[in-house]
Structures are given as structure tokens and as C-alpha cells.
Amino acid sequence: MATAPDKPLDTTKVHTFRLYKDNDVEWNSMQDLIFQEDTSYKCPTYIHKTAPCQGSCPSGEDIRGWLQIVRGIEKPPTDLSMQEYAFRRSTRANPFPSMMGRVCPAPCEEGCNRNDVDDFVGINSVEQYIGDTAIENGFAFNPPEAMSGKKIAIVGGGVAGLSAAYQLRMMGHGSTIFDDHEQLGGMARYGIPAYRVPRNQLDAEIGRITTMEGVEVKTSTRIGRDVTVESLEKDYDAILWTLGCKNGRGLFVDNWSDVPNAVPAVNFLEVFNSGNMHYTAPKIVCVGGGDTSIDVVSVSRRIGTLADYSEMPEEVVMGRTIHTENPAEKLATEVTLTSLFPQDQMTAAEHEVNDALIEGVTILNEVMPVEILVDENGRGVALKVVECEMEGSLPKAKEGGKETIIEADLIVSAIGQYGSLEGLEEFDNGRSLIDSDQFYQVPNRPGHFVAGDIVRPHLLTTAIGQASIAAESINHYLNNRDQVKRPKVDKHHFDLLDKLRETALAPSPYEETKADDLRGTQFADFAVHNYDDRSEHQIVPSSDLFLGHFNRVERNLRTEEVPSASEVIGHFMERVNALAEEEVVAEAGRCMSCGMCFECDNCVIYCPQDAVFRVKKTQSTMGRYVDTDYDKCIGCHICADVCPTGYIEMGLGG
């Protein structure tokens, strides 16, 4: 059956927009006073700001930028297609658009200003399109030919390590990625099932990085066992630790470590994703509530069990035995997921929770585990849970709360992860993680840097952003440059000067074109006038936008093929159906271009003095669509009032 992965637009929501209240006829402060008889000391200035989608993105992607490219507002150079131009803008920050367009929980969509109009822009669906078309067309990265001669050892081949290798190579530095698995990808490969991240897409995006000259790969190699830290320090100019966290935390019950069939979720998923588990026990209970727990229960329903099942399920989960055959005849597993929180507060994506319910998973909310019940052999036979409530970040059993006994052949904990630092104990901060300073350097270890889950387990997009910062810190270190401020993750902003150079409209050299009198130089050609780039430090809120400009437009929803409880066994095809190109362009068109002109003509149409005019087409670029004749402007404020994007502010005029 086909269902929407995100909830549809709430049609009961009513929005009205008023810039001013009835009887507001006077400016209420000298700061806002703009009239001086028939002249003005405030005229429109064009202020480039960061959109909240980028401000909410842990990877720091220029989301507004590539949305404007896809919708056709920003034109690519003549030698690039829209698809390739969007790909190149997107991958400045994130080299995995196809993967992240599928699995990222999209904090950017939570921050989208369009939420205050109708519904957020489907950023993930557009990003998936950019990534998929890049793979289909064979787009490759274009690193600089010149190499620095420096080489970095990257320990861990997940998204953090791979992203760092990409960013370092774009800076001219080579690297060697060490990973103890047979294949790169980390949690993206071994933690997320292929029906969420198709392996051909994942392999293509990894291969785009590892095929760059100067990037080497050594798999099935564990640092601290096969290679010493001392040899890395001798052979490489810097070391970046991106180990990830592949050890799962156990439940906080007294006998967790004594029960053989109580296992961590990360082990369960790694064995399945490695192809070594084709079925499981008849009754599964998983404690969690996040995306990892959803993957465990969804996988359990898909692989099913056997009519004559007689194995010890933990033997497979812990890698002591493997399944060499995938039997055709299977029975459905009974799968229960428990969560401390109400369903609408679970950390898993809402559509993933809904899908699990459709697939036949039982979810018990607002309960906490209190005891594993065991048989005479010490094996777990059931999990006892009790109704709970949260006190701060900790659960507390409700007084007189209902207890529930959940029968189980396998009990899975999906409540957190920590690192595996055997052989690397000198880096262990006591919590099986590695400490980091603000520059993602390992304290008191010159030349050692760290990023990703081994700093603090979080989202894939967080690991990508941390890797970007760490790469920049490594670049400073290799060039013997001091760092005063921590590198910014959201540094990939639209640059008007770059755009002008790209279109052969760069300002003329100052010395050649300056006049003797530099007063009133708006018609001179040595600078970009009445424009200010504040994108480095200012995020534009919805209150700065003229929201009344935007009509209510329903989101273009991706659909999912979600199997019913009776169809789920053996259902491993990708669930998310990509949008067609025309739907992607339409969805990108819902972007309100917060903080940047999107050429709506409001300021031109509503200016009572004809002071605002369109720049000549031969001189126009993104961000330079309109200009102002200060001789005509009376500072009436109308252009700023009707600017939908907050790009126009009243500033000092000529």
C-alpha cells in the first residue's frame, strides 16, 4: 500500500497576516521615523541573510541556494545543467545528497519559515533528487590538481571519515582511510537497512570520494591492533579519529549482563546488514523509541522466523554463528517496541513509527523496563515494564502504575551507543568516547583530531558537519596557522561577487574607475552598491518576511510502499518513492527564499515614485535583480514592507 512518509498539510490551519493594526497612523520611535518633509535619510538597501533552513542544518548546507537553482531562479553557467549546478552547490557541505535525502531527520524542515504559512518545504525530497540525478549522470568531484604533499590518517570509514577525506582533498590534502570492516560506510551501511538506504546509491556516493586521486583506503585494518598509533604518528602529518560508536548500551536493569539473549541493537543490525542473519526468534522485544529501534523491529518483521525454530538467537546476533541459507517458508515474528515517551514525542521519525505500526509492530508508550524475567537456565523469557513519567531526563515509575509482562525470545536494547577503544585506551575519556576541544582537536595531543559519534553519538548530518570543521582545523594545523575562532559549519553561503565573476559582471578595478569625488558613487562600477552581505552572522526570522505574499500551497509528498502486517515478510524493496522532476521543481518553488531576492517584482510594482527599477538583463544576476534611484526615493518604506523575503531593509540613502 502507498502512504505518505510525512503527514499531509493540516487544512484546518488558518493564517492571517497584518503588518499594522487598525489606527496605526504614526511611527512610534525616532528609529522608525523615515519622513523629513519630501526627503528621506532612509532608503532601501539589499541585505543578504542566512535562511533558517541552513541555520538549522548541522552540515551547514546552502539549502536555499540549491533550491533556487532547482526552481530556476538562479541560472547555472552555460556549461552546466541545472542538475549538475545544484549538485555542486549541495556537495560543498555534504557529499552524500542521495543518502541524506532519504534518511536525514531534517532539522532544516523544522526550522523552515514556511511552517508559519502552511507547511515546510520538502527539502529532503529535493536533496534526494539532486543526489540520484548526480549518480545517474556520473557527476564527479573536481578537486584541485595541486596537492600539498601532506597526508592525513583517517581512522574510521563512516560518513564522518569519508566527509573529512572529501573536504581535505578539496583543500589539496591527501588521506588514508582506515576501517576495521570489509567495506566503508560505517553506520550508514551496517546500521541502516538497505530498504532505507539502497546500497547502489551508497556505494556510488562513497566511490565518488575514494576514487579521487590522493584518497587511499585500507579496510579490515584496526588501529591499535593491526597498526600502532605510533606508526601513524610517524607516517602521517595528522590523524583524525572518526571511529563511530558500535557498542550498544544495555538496559538499566539488574540482570542485563547476565542474560545471554539480551543483546544490543547495533549488533543485531550489523549482523543483518552484513548478510549473516536471514531470520530471527519468534518473539522479539526492543526497548528504545529512536530510529535504531524502529530499524530493529522493522527488520524483525521482514526476516520473520521459522516454524521449527530451535536456535539460540543471540548466537547469530553476536556473530558466533551465521545463516548461510535464506529459507523460503517463514512465519511472522511477534515484535514489540517499548518507549519512555508518548508516541508523538518519540525521537524516531514520525513516518517511521507509523510504518512500523502498519507492518504489525506493537508499540507500548510511556513504559520503562524494570526486570528481565528468566527461566531455570537463566535465559530471558519476558521483559517486565511499568508505566512511567519523565522527571527531567530520567524516567520514574508511576505510583500504582500498570505493569506489563512481554514474552520474549530475544530482548534488544536500543537506548544508546558508545565507542570501541580496545587498544586505544589512552584516548578513552572514561565514557568510551574521545574528548574534543572547540576546534575538534584531541586535548593535549598535537596533530590528533576527532569528529563524529565518538565525540558524542548524534545524527549522520551532525557527523558530516563536525568532519567539515575538523578538516578546516587540520588545514590550519598543517599550514602552521593559529586559530582564534572555531570554524563555522554554515560557511557555504551564496557569494554575490563570485556570482558576478561567474557571469562576467565583476566590478571594475577600483583604481581604474574611481572618481575624484567619491560622494554619491551609486553609478560607479568599482563596487556593489546598496548591498550588504550579513549571511555570516544573521538568520532571517519569519517576522522579517511579508508572509501575506505567499499563497497556501500543499507540499509535494513522496509516497512510500509500506507492506501490511500480512505482506511484510520478505519485503526489502526501497520504501520511499522519489518525486518526479516536475514535482521536485514545484516543491523547490515553495521555498520562500528567506533573506535573498527571488525576483517577485513587488518592490518595483508598489514603489509610488518609480524609484525601484529592474537591473538591465545584461547586468542582472541572482541577488542583483533590482536597484534603487536614490534621487527619486522618498523613503516611504513600502518596498521593505512588501518584500516577501526580508531582503530589503531601510538604511541610509543617498
- Are 280 and 305 in contact, with CB atoms under 8 Å apart? yes
Q: What count of other Cβ atoms lies within 10 Å of the Cβ of residue 363? A: 18
239, 497, 500, 505, 513 from 527: Cα distances, Å: 43, 10, 11, 11, 10
How much is the pTM? 0.92
- Are 504 and 95 in contact, with CB atoms under 8 Å apart? no
Which residues touch 239 (CB under 8 Å, ≥6 apart)?
152, 153, 154, 155, 229, 232, 233, 447, 448, 449
Quote the pLDDT of residue 652: 66
CA 434, distance to chain mean position in Å, is 23
All CATH 3.50.50.60 domain ranges in the chain, comma separated: 151-246+419-478, 250-415
Quote the pLDDT of residue 8: 56
The sign of the dihedral angle between the CA atoms of 541, 546, 548, 554 is negative
- Are 302 and 326 in contact, with CB atoms under 8 Å apart? no
> What pLDDT, in 10s, does the model give residues 373-388?
999 999 999 999 999 9
Q: Which CATH homologous superfamily contains domain 151-246+419-478?
A: FAD/NAD(P)-binding domain (3.50.50.60)
Cα dihedral 109→114→115→118 (10° resolution): -130
User: pLDDT below 70 — which residues of the chain?
Assistant: 1-20, 26-41, 513-522, 652-654
CATH topology of domain 250-415: FAD/NAD(P)-binding domain (3.50.50)
Which residues touch 209 (CB under 8 Å, ≥6 apart)?
95, 141, 162, 165, 166, 169, 215
Quote the pLDDT of residue 654: 44
Quote the pLDDT of residue 157: 98
Quote the pLDDT of residue 32: 55
> What pLDDT, in 10s, does the model give residues 546-570?
999 999 999 999 998 899 999 999 9
Q: Please state whether beta strands 559-561 and 2-3 pair in parallel, antiparallel, or not at all (unpaired).
A: antiparallel
Q: What is the DSSP string of 237-283?
A: SEEEE-----EEPPPSSTTGGG-TTEEEHHHHHHHHHTT--S---SE
Rounded Cα distance, 653 and 631, in Å: 10
Q: Please state whether beta strands 215-218 and 262-264 pair in parallel, antiparallel, or not at all (unpaired).
A: unpaired
What single-letter amino acid sits at 598? F
Q: What is the largest CA-CA distance in the chain?
A: 97
Q: State the first-to-last Cα distance of the chain, in angstroms, to the nearest integer.
A: 63
CA 566, distance to chain mean position in Å, is 34
Classified as helix, coil or strand, 229 is: helix
Q: Please state whether beta strands 2-3 and 362-364 pair in parallel, antiparallel, or not at all (unpaired).
A: unpaired
The H or E element containing residue 199 is: helix 199-210
Rounded Cα distance, 652 and 631, in Å: 13
Quote the pLDDT of residue 4: 43
Rounded Cα distance, 557 and 250, in Å: 38
Which residues touch 444 (CB under 8 Å, ≥6 apart)?
none
Quote the pLDDT of residue 395: 95
